Amino acid sequence: MDLIKQLINGIQVGSIYALVALGYTMVYGIVKLINFAHGDFIMVGGYVALTVIPVLVSAGLSPWLCIIVAILFCALLGMATERVAYKPLRGAPKISVLITAIGVSLFLQNLFMLIFSPNPKPFPNFLDYPPLALGENFQISFVTLLTILLSLIIMVGLQFFIQKTKMGKSMRAVSEDPGAAQLMGINVNRTISVTFAIGSGLAAVASVLYCSAYPLVEPTMGSVLGLRAFIAAVFGGIGMIPGAMVGGLLMGVVESLTKAYISSQMSDAVVYGILILVLLVKPTGLFGKNVREKV
């Protein structure tokens, strides 16, 4: 029974990793950019929800609406970041873009330190519903159940969006060859902006779910969570949406089992050790494909 509980806990955390990893992998798949500021969108989403919930409650509205507000804010922030910080650097050396991404990350962290102070703030538990009882000694909290179900729905919906919709096909075309996609009449700039908006919106969803499970918000919370989600994306094969999903879930399960049965201090070492072994055997990750460059 304890093993099942640890697996469920791992799937919950892994679902959050997967949502954030999807943002990394979508952006990388289209513009070949590692957006290290993506983790800080989680922090931004947490503070937006924290600020909006009292306003919604005082207005007689459901605090659940904070999720929609956080998604819209982070989506707009993602689009603005792409337009201001990344678009001017298309075609620039990758090291320049990487440094810019780190700069955006530090800017967001320090900005929110100035606005909200560096001290952690408690996050209101608006998801305080009775747990689901599956037996006399086995219960699943509402937050855990919601995180797993909502993450699975979003992952399946995103895969359908990428494969079946016109915008999704445009994203795949831009990922394959931006120049050819533009010649075929695809608006590359709009496609990239939509990609950043979707990825940042997913980070907002992950932030509300994460803060509901671990009710603290602080300016640096996105750094570690974003790093782990990036590792999950690399684990599954960066640029591959199914890989981001599987990588996040596997990383969450391994982390949970390590904390429960080995040592809580060894969880990161075990996760990164498994990542190194996987990359030694398959450098492109579990679902990554070897791509030959034309000379």
Residue range 32-91, pLDDT digits in tens = 888 888 989 999 999 999 999 999 999 999 999 999 999 999 999 999 999 999 999 888
**Other CB atoms closer than 10 Å to residue 136's CB: what's the count?**
6
Is residue 31 included in any domain, yes or no?
yes
245's CB contacts (< 8 A; 6+ apart) are 18, 21, 22, 155, 236
Confidence at residue 100, expressed as pLDDT on a 0 to 100 scale = 92
Is residue 294 included in any domain, yes or no?
no
Q: Hey, what are 267's tokens?
A: 């969880």
For tokens 């445009």, what's the residue?
170
pLDDT at 137 over 80: no
Mean pLDDT of 210-223: 90
Is residue 6 included in any domain, yes or no?
no
Is residue 4 included in any domain, yes or no?
no
Is residue 290 included in any domain, yes or no?
no
Averaged pLDDT score across all residues of the chain: 88
Q: Are 233 and 276 in contact (CB under 8 A)?
A: no
Does the CA dihedral 117-68-216-241 come out positive or negative? negative
DSSP result, the chain = -HHHHHHHHHHHHHHHHHHHHHHHHHHHHHH----TTHHHHHHHHHHHHHHHHHHHHHTT--TTHHHHHHHHHHHHHHHHHIIIIIGGGTTS-HHHHHHHHHHHHHHHHHHHHHHH-SS-EEPP-TT--PPEE-SSS-EE-HHHHHHHHHHHHHHHHHHHHHHHSHHHHHHHHHHH-HHHHHHTT--HHHHHHHHHHHHHHHHHHHHHHHHHHS-EE-TTHHHHHHHHHHHHHHHH-TT-HHHHHHHHHHHHHHHHHHHHHT-GGGHHHHHHHHHHHHHHH-TT-SS----PPP-
Mean pLDDT of 132-144: 80
pLDDT tens for 225-268 read 888 888 888 888 887 888 888 889 998 999 899 988 888 888 88
The model's confidence at residue 294, banded by pLDDT at 50, 70 and 90, is: very low
Mean pLDDT of 199-213: 92
The model's confidence at residue 295, banded by pLDDT at 50, 70 and 90, is: very low
% of the chain surpassing 90 pLDDT = 41
Residue predicted with more confidence, 271 or 56: 56
Structural domain range at position 50: 16-123+142-222
Is residue 10 included in any domain, yes or no?
no
Mean pLDDT of 138-160: 88
Number of separate domains in the chain = 1
Confidence at residue 219, expressed as pLDDT on a 0 to 100 scale = 92
Is residue 89 included in any domain, yes or no?
yes
Confidence at residue 291, expressed as pLDDT on a 0 to 100 scale = 55
Is residue 268 included in any domain, yes or no?
no
pTM, two decimals, is 0.90
